Amino acid sequence: MAEVIRLEDIMKTYVMGDTILHALNHVHLEVTNGEFMAIMGPSGSGKSTMMNILGCLDRPTSGKYYLDGKEIAGYDDDELAQTRNAKIGFVFQNFNLLPKLTAQANVALPLVYAGVPEDERMERAKQALVAVGLGERLDHKPNEMSGGQRQRVAIARALINNPAIIMADEPTGNLDTKSSYEIMDIFKAMNNEGKTVVMVTHEPDIGEQTKRILVMRDGQLVSDERR
């Protein structure tokens, strides 16, 4: 199996006055293609920092990060932006859809920055929405949809540019139980089709549904369990 993510001795350090906080402390991690992994841990355990670094939103203080075989620690902001655009699909707890755009336009947004022409963008966005069961709601604005539907729009957006990895940050955190399970079913289906999914969650029953659970505490990986 090909390696998608490889972290080597990653440190992320914040200096606050005279206290030094190691949000990530000597983290080593490998994620192979097709894995479905949950990162769990209490608040302040460093899982959000982990997510930001894995998602190329942030740079580690030291260490090496290979994404899809490329060392990206030295990338500048624009290179990171292009990497996010091409390799990573984000799903957020609070959906992060643009309220003034329709579902279709929201899904098509990453393709704008990938330089895909408008006709093709809209066609691909339509197909992606149909795939998550929202073929009837192309022209709806986010505030006209339920939480579960919004998260499905966000998933369609994450998938649109065919990324190497899906990063989901508490994707079920704002959803009721029924919607949560529906969303998890979509993730499972994606994973069965070969997508790599990394998810941050603090809900054990959500974590249970993945194939690999990573537990963090005080910036360190304390357990790594494959099922």
The nearer residue to other proteins, 87 or 182, going by C-beta atoms, is 87
CB of 140 to other proteins, least distance (A): 17
Q: What share of the chain is helix, strand, coil (3-state, %, to 5)?
A: 35, 30, 35
CB of 30 to other proteins, least distance (A): 24
In angstroms, the CA 212 to CA 143 distance is 34
**Cα angle at 63 between 57 and 67, to 5 degrees?**
55
CB of 227 to other proteins, least distance (A): 30
CB of 157 to other proteins, least distance (A): 7
The nearer residue to other proteins, 2 or 112, going by C-beta atoms, is 112
CB of 84 to other proteins, least distance (A): 5
Which residues are near other proteins by CB under 8 A? 52, 55, 57-58, 77-78, 81-82, 84-86, 90, 92, 96-98, 100, 109-110, 112-115, 118, 157, 161
The nearer residue to other proteins, 39 or 215, going by C-beta atoms, is 39
In angstroms, the CA 123 to CA 100 distance is 20
CB of 19 to other proteins, least distance (A): 21
The nearer residue to other proteins, 36 or 95, going by C-beta atoms, is 95
Taking the CA atoms of the chain, what radius of gyration do you get in angstroms? 17
**Helix 103-114 × helix 77-87 angle, to 10°:** 130
In angstroms, the CA 37 to CA 51 distance is 12
Amino acid identity of residue 68, one-letter, is: D
What's the sign of the alpha-carbon dihedral 90, 170, 1, 191? Answer: negative
The nearer residue to other proteins, 165 or 213, going by C-beta atoms, is 165
**For 52, what's the count of Cα atoms within 13 Å in the CB-facing half-sphere?**
13
The nearer residue to other proteins, 126 or 157, going by C-beta atoms, is 157
